[in-house]
Structure formats: structure tokens, C-alpha cells
Amino acid sequence: MDKKVTVIGAGNVGATAAQRLAEKELCDVVLVDIIEGVPQGKALDLSEAAPIEKHDAHLTGTNGYDASAGSNIVIITAGIARKPGMSRDDLISTNAGIVKSVTQEAAKRSPEAVLIIVSNPLDAMCHVAFETSGFAKERIIGMAGVLDSARFRAFIAMELNVSVENTHAFVLGGHGDTMVPLPRYSSVAGIPITELLSQDRIEALVKRTRSGGAEIVGLLKTGSAYYAPASAAVEMAESILKDKKKILPCAAYLEGEYGIHDLFIGVPVKLGAKGVEEVIQITLTDEEKAALQKSAAAVEELKAVLKKLV
Ligand code: APR
């Protein structure tokens, strides 16, 4: 393939993302992990599936970073995942150090890459990658809104018994309990869900979306969600690799947009070859604005915690 994506962390999210990238023939994939044998084994296993899955993407597994050199995109999933009873924020002290070290190694070898951050707490980890890499803000993008919106879309489709393909949803804000699902901008075949569902039902779907990650953690018990997170990261990567310019909700660095300064938080962005090519500013009601501000305040708190850690 003429494009290369490095996925750091060959665990549940990383290996699933590698599989999806390869099976869609978007790029060659370099899978990096700290555990000896795991990235090599998973890359080889995926390569052996290639004749059946009919793709010619090359997959390499490694414990070092040399094979990652010149990547178009680096997806960072390294870190620990939460267990029942933990919030994403509980991961901050462990994952900040991991994200810092892997960003240093990857950025050195792929100075032109776009970094897609997946490790949690997401918005805070974007700050770590931004400060560590020294990359322009356009090339640091957090994966959260696409996942949260996909969850909202899945619940809307289940509720109305319609194709998921007919659904559209926007979830903004930080990737945590304060996220801001926007029913006014969520629709089925172009019809806002506010015209299709009662306020009570919408509130129930919003609540389920907010705790969507925790619902999976509660079921799995040994880790957190990975199929949908991997799909979300790959949708972002595809838009960048193919310069599709999709509008997707992602964590982006804001410098005044939505009245928010110097903070990574989920907003609609246009994703193309350069990374974040535009922050799309949609009009929000006073209530929606207040919810976004509350979410920004929660991310600010984490940013302050980070200052003491890294
Ligand atoms: N360098 C490279 N890989 C690392 C490092 C490091 N310094 N530290 C940890 N890892 C690897 C682990 O060895 C493991 O294989 O990261 C991988 C994480 O995989 P899982 O434990 O399966 O976690 P996963 O479910 O993939 O979640 C990863 O994404 O969604 C978020 O909250 C989640 O922060 C978590 C991350």
C-alpha cells in the first residue's frame, strides 16, 4: 500500500483497529506494543488471514519504533483500560506517562504524521500528545465523538427499528460523564429525532449514550469496549488517508471557537489529509452552550491534574 499507519498498543482496541485498516486496504500497518511477541504474533495472525479476507495490506509487529518511520498516521491506543467501578479519569496517572513516552518515540520517526489519540482520559491524553510532539494543533485529534455518536446512533436505530445507516447524531464535549449529546442535530433520514421521539425517550437514549462505555465495562468486567472504538478511529483515519473531508465530531484544540480557549474537546471538525482542516461552529441553544462549558470545565480540571504528572 502507498500509505502507512502505525498503531501503538496491540491490545484490544489497537489490534482491532489494525484488522479493520488492513481489511479495508487503507494502508500498511505497523503494530507496536511493549509486550514482547504480542504485536509480532497479532500482525502475523492478521497476515495469515489476508488470503481469506482478500487484502494485500502488509502488517508488521514490533516492540520498537523504527518500522513506524514515515507513517501518515499514528494511532495511539497504548495504556491501561478501565475495569468496573473506574471512570476514564482514574486512568490519568498511568496513561499520561505511557502516552508521553510513545508519542516521543513515534513523533521523532514520523514528523509529518497526524496523531489520532484513543487512550483515556481522551481529552487529557490529547494534551499530552500535543505538548510532547510539538506538532501543529491540526495534527493532534482525539477519538471520542465518533464513538459516542455511533453509540447514540445505534440506540436511536434500536428504538425506532430503522437502519443504522439512516441515523445521524452529534455528541460534543469531553469524553466522559459530561459529554453533550445534541438531539436537535441528531436525525433519522434527515428528520430530527425531536420530531420522532418523546422527550422522555430522548432523555433515556442520551443517558444510555453518556454511560455507553461504562455499560460495556460492566458487562465485560475485564476491560473496556474495543470494537466500536476501533471502528471510530478507523473512520477518522480513512477520512484523513483519502482526504475525504468528512465532518466528524472529534477532540480538537480550540483557541476561541465555542468560547473555549487552549483546550482539546469534542466539536465537529472537517478531517482531511492535513488533519483537522476546519472546526465547524454550529449554533447552540443557551442550554447546549452551558452543557459544553460544563464539559470544558471538567476537561480543564484534568488538564490541571496533568500539570502535576508530566
Ligand atoms: N508502549 C507500547 N504499548 C504499551 C505501553 C507502552 N509504553 N504500555 C502499555 N501498552 C500496551 C499494552 O501492552 C496493551 O497491549 O497497550 C495495550 C493496551 O491494550 P488493552 O489493555 O487491551 O486496552 P484497550 O482495550 O486496547 O484500551 C486501550 O484505549 O479506549 C482506550 O481506555 C482505553 O486507555 C485505554 C486504551
Q: How high is the pLDDT of residue 229?
A: 98
**Residue 148: C-alpha distances to residues 155, 163, 168, 279, 292 (Å):** 11, 18, 12, 18, 15
Dig out the grid coordinates for 252 from the structure: 480538537
Please say if the pLDDT value at position 132 is more than 90.
yes
Ligand 1 neighbours (beta carbon < 6 A): 8-14, 32-35, 77-79, 81-82, 91, 95, 98, 101-102, 118-120, 223-224, 226, 229
pTM listed for this prediction: 0.98
Region 145-309: CATH code: 3.90.110.10
Q: Which ranges of 110-138 does DSSP label H, i.e. alpha helix?
A: 122-133
Q: Whose CA is nearest to atom 33 of ligand 1?
A: 81
Q: Whose CA is nearest to atom 6 of ligand 1?
A: 34
Dig out the grid coordinates for 52 from the structure: 481469506
Q: Which of 30, 62, 77, 90 to mutate to test the pocket of ligand 1 (most atoms within 8 A of CB)?
A: 77
- Among the atoms of ligand 1, which is closest to the Cα of residue 226? 25
Q: What is the mean pLDDT of the chain?
A: 97
| Residue given cell 489490534 in the structure block | 15
3-state helix, strand, coil in the chain (%, to 5): 50, 20, 30
Mean pLDDT of 163-182: 95
Q: Which of 127, 168, 175, 261 is catalytic?
A: 175
Of 99, 102, 96, whose CA–CA distance to 63 is shortest?
Answer: 102
Structure confidence at residue 309 as a pLDDT band (50, 70, 90):
confident
Q: How high is the pLDDT of residue 307?
A: 87
Strand residue runs (E) in 118-213 = 140-142, 167-168, 171-172, 180-181, 187-188, 191-192
- Residue 175 designated active-site: yes
Q: What are the pLDDT digits (tens) for 262-304?
A: 999 999 999 999 999 999 999 999 999 999 999 999 999 999 9
Q: What percent of the chain has pLDDT over 90?
A: 95
Cα 183 to Cα 163: distance, rounded to the nearest angstrom: 18
Q: 141: which strand partners?
A: 116
Which residue type, as a one-letter code, is found at position 259? G
Q: What are the pLDDT digits (tens) for 13-40?
A: 999 999 999 999 999 999 999 999 999 9
CA 283 / ligand 1 centre spacing (Å): 37
Of 75, 62, 68, 61, whose CA–CA distance to 17 is shortest?
Answer: 75
Cα 140 to Cα 129: distance, rounded to the nearest angstrom: 7
Mean pLDDT of 182-196: 97
Question: CA 18: distance to chain centroid?
Answer: 14
Cα 1 to Cα 4: distance, rounded to the nearest angstrom: 7
Mean pLDDT of 191-205: 98
Topology annotation, domain 4-142 = Rossmann fold (3.40.50)
Q: How high is the pLDDT of residue 11?
A: 98
Residue ranges covered by each domain of the chain: 4-142, 145-309
Q: 211: helix, coil or strand?
A: coil
Cα 128 to Cα 190: distance, rounded to the nearest angstrom: 38
What lies within 8 Å, CB to CB, of 194 at 6+ separation is: 183, 184, 202
Please say if the pLDDT value at position 310 is more than 80.
no
Q: 187: which strand partners?
A: 168, 192
Mean pLDDT of 222-232: 97
Q: How high is the pLDDT of residue 83?
A: 85
Q: What is the CA radius of gyration of the chain?
A: 18
Q: How high is the pLDDT of residue 308?
A: 84
Q: Which of 30, 33, 36, 91 to mutate to test the pocket of ligand 1 (most atoms within 8 A of CB)?
A: 33
Q: What are the pLDDT digits (tens) for 75-126?
A: 999 999 888 988 888 999 999 999 999 999 999 999 999 999 999 999 999 9
